[in-house]
């Protein structure tokens, strides 16, 4: 099985360096990015298409689905990592946002520490494990496309690479030293003899 993990196109909020909310739509640039991406995805024979329920991912999935002539399914597990509600919709340079992000960075290694209502490392790890488990149910003979977000995609990749040894600090270092561009493609393979492995990271050659 080959799985194509794709980050959604640029959203209107991200274009303005604002922390994205669930209902932030794609920007015009984001729509163009996904249309180009859809042409690139015509090459492999895609079986199932799964999408995060958040608007920017769902709009991306609609564009790809229409171009490939295949329906897509909403998969709640592919939703983005939940940030504290206090920073949602605010500029990244906002003073309060900077304080909150600094506190999260300083305490993230604890695994279950939270500032308010964000998703913890432990919760995100369980969700990433469920994605990998569910992908193996009925998909092993197909190429699968998952349209999602940077945080959860990086968690899935960290689990593929580090497995049960993954810690909160390892994940923090992993995600902050890897870039995943809008409409970037991550390719993973699975076989019964070898398990999961990564074959391509942040492929943006279609642009």
Residue 89's CATH number? 3.40.50.1240
In this predicted structure, what is the pLDDT of residue 106? 96
In this predicted structure, what is the pLDDT of residue 29? 97
The parent domain of residue 19 ranges over: 2-203
> pTM for the full model?
0.95
If one counts the domains in the chain, the total is: 1
Would you say 56 and 78 are in contact if contact means Cβ atoms under 8 Å apart?
Answer: no
- HSE (CB half, 13 Å, CA atoms) of 178? 21
In this predicted structure, what is the pLDDT of residue 43? 81
Residue 15 burial (CB < 10 Å; 0-12/13-18/19+)?
middle
In this predicted structure, what is the pLDDT of residue 95? 96
Instruction: Kindly give the confidence (pLDDT) of every residue in the chain, 207 residues in length, as a single tens digit, with 9 standing for 90 and above.
Output: 999 999 999 999 999 999 999 999 999 999 999 999 999 998 878 989 999 999 999 999 999 999 999 999 999 999 999 999 999 999 999 999 999 999 999 999 998 999 999 999 999 999 999 999 999 987 677 899 999 999 999 999 999 999 999 999 999 999 999 999 999 999 999 998 999 999 999 999 876
């Amino acid at each position: 099985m080959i799985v194509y993990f794709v980050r959604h196109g640029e959203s209107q909020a991200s274009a303005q360096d604002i922390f994205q909310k669930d209902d932030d739509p794609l920007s015009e640039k984001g729509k163009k990015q996904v249309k180009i991406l859809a042409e690139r995805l015509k090459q492999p024979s895609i079986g199932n298409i799964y999408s995060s329920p958040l608007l920017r991912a769902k709009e991306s999935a609609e564009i790809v689905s229409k171009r490939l002539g295949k329906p897509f399914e909403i998969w709640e597990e592919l939703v983005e990592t939940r940030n504290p509600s206090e920073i949602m919709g605010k500029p990244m340079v906002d003073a309060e946002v900077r304080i909150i992000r600094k506190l999260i960075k300083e305490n993230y290694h604890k695994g279950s520490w939270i500032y308010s209502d964000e998703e913890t490392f432990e919760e995100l790890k369980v969700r990433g494990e469920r994605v990998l488990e569910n992908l193996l149910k009925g998909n092993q003979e197909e190429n699968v496309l998952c349209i999602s977000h940077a945080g959860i995609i990086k968690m899935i990749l960290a689990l593929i690479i580090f497995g049960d040894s993954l810690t909160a600090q390892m994940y923090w270092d992993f995600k902050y030293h890897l870039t995943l561009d809008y409409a970037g493609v991550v390719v993973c393979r699975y076989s019964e003899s070898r398990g999961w492995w990564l074959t391509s990271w942040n492929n943006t050659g279609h642009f």
